[in-house]
Amino acid sequence: MRKIDYSFLNNGLLPVQKKDAIYTRRSIRKYEEKAVPRNILEQIIDAGRVAPSAKNRQPWRYLVYSGAAKERLLAKMKEGIEREEISPMLPLSVSGIFDAKNTLRIMENAPIVIMVLNTNGKSPFVQINADERFTEMNDLLSIGASIENMLLKAEELNVGTLWIGNTCFAYQKLIDYIGSDGELVGAVALGYKAEQPSMRPRKRLEDIVEYYN
């Protein structure tokens, strides 16, 4: 029987399993210069494969980049971010470009970058009707579940990860380079951890839950 740690976490609202990946996972931004073995990588991606999805559509596709292929991909991301500075496609989000540049440096440091596609999705720069929007919402929820499965499996295997959304600042450059008709949702950086950050603040359970009888 596993020993339960009743020390306080998140203001002491719940007892937690001391080594549960769901509680020990962190966003890792510094990585060792050490390759992630193919069998470890496949275990992580396979965890994403078995996630639940709306209508069992399984709308995810993962493109895995390392080495020279990763360098070429991220060179395109850099071009896209630089273009966004000059002629923004996301004018209300320009304050996030500085953070996107920092994210790019993290991706360059990580041994593996996985680009995440919604195979049923369309470009965020085209109009879709309400029916298509609800389908997209459900598919993105499904992809989120798949990515979270991967992050937790990676933590179990002592591999660090960073869930990345800043690909939006280079969306068109990246999707053109990838050559996909799908929707680029984001990316995940992976590698062995070169840091052990503490958990960032979380809202209290009582602040986010309402019960009705």
Express each pLDDT in 106-127 by its tens digit: 999 999 999 999 999 999 999 9
CA neighbours closer than 13 Å in the CB half-sphere of residue 132: 9
Antiparallel, parallel or unpaired: β 60-65 and 183-192: unpaired
Given this model, what pLDDT does residue 93 score?
97
For the record, the structure tokens of 67 come out as: 């080495």
Q: Does 172 score more than 70 pLDDT?
A: yes
- Kindly report the pTM of this predicted structure: 0.89
Paired residues of 116 in beta bridges: 62, 186
pLDDT single digits (tens) 55-98: 999 999 999 999 999 999 999 999 999 999 999 999 999 999 99
Give mean pLDDT, residues 19-32: 94
Q: Does 133 score more than 80 pLDDT?
A: yes
Average confidence score pLDDT of the chain: 93
Given this model, what pLDDT does residue 77 score?
98
| CATH T-level topology, domain 29-208 | NADH Oxidase (3.40.109)
For the record, the structure tokens of 150 come out as: 């991967």
> Could you give the residue ranges of the DSSP H alpha helices within the chain?
21-24, 38-49, 67-86, 97-109, 130-156, 171-178, 205-208
Amino acid at 210: E
Give mean pLDDT, residues 201-205: 94
Give mean pLDDT, residues 177-181: 94
Place of tokens 């965890």: 47
CA distances from 124 to 3, 127, 134, 136, 138 (A): 47, 8, 14, 11, 15
